[in-house]
Amino acid sequence: MSKAPGSNVISELVSSYFELPVSIHWEKAAGLPFPDTFEGARLEFGGLATAWLDLKQVIWHADQVRFIAGFPAQVQVKGPRVEIAVGQAELDRWLSRFQLPYRLVLEEEALVVHAEIAGLPVGEFETRIEVVNGWFVLQPKRATILGVPNYVASLFRTYLPLPPLSGDTRLIGVEHQTGQLRATFGLDDFEEQVTPGLLSRLQSRLLPTLSSPFGGMFSQRTKDAPEAG
């Protein structure tokens, strides 16, 4: 998707409002004298920190965004989706906060769980991410225990220490890459009044877990401190 004419100005205005660097794109804009309807819209945030996990990238997609003049003005969003990317470095930092008996490695076709006991490797699971009753789980596809293939892996699953999804959020896609995982969430259409508090209401809608007590407002992620030599 190429960047539409005028989107640089809007990106600067929205970045100022969010107090975060934002890049805005759209496929088609309509409305006179100023565009008020945007088709195929997307807002891209890079390097965000949340209360639960650092995110490499967040992209808000919408089939259509429409601004309706009035007192107060309204914004209508159709076909909203949220795309979240997590890298291996962000995942490693998150896992270091917990005493878990496994490591997670982002590989090209799966998220691989390396189970350990007292630091000794005992098993390896190729897994896929699923959502069960709102909670994130790792569902093994194939496992190797002490070097022996285990075909009953589907009987086991591991819950991730993440807050649950908010009620209208659905996991609709997961893309695996070496060193990165990208998850896409679908949401219901919505409209909001352009009044004080709009930012926090949008964050609650468009980040999948902010409705939970573990959530928090996101902020620009600071650069990693260099490791001690």
pTM: 0.76
Q: Which of 40-44, 139-143, 162-166, 182-186 has the lowest mean pLDDT?
A: 139-143
**Residue 208 — very low, low, confident or very high, per pLDDT cuts 50/70/90?**
low
> Tokens in use for 94?
């998150």
Q: How far apart are CA 161 and CA 112, in angstroms?
A: 16
Residues 6+ apart with CB under 8 A from 124: 112, 113, 114, 115, 143, 144
Q: What is the pLDDT of residues 26-66, one digit of tens each?
A: 999 998 778 889 999 998 887 777 777 788 888 999 999 99
**Is the model more confident about 172 or about 220?**
172
Q: How far apart are CA 102 and CA 125, in angstroms?
A: 10
pLDDT of residue 123: 74
pLDDT of residue 14: 67
**Residue 173 — very low, low, confident or very high, per pLDDT cuts 50/70/90?**
very high
Averaged over 110-124, what is the pLDDT? 76
Where on the phi/psi map is residue 208: left (φ > 0), alpha (ψ -120 to 50), or beta?
alpha
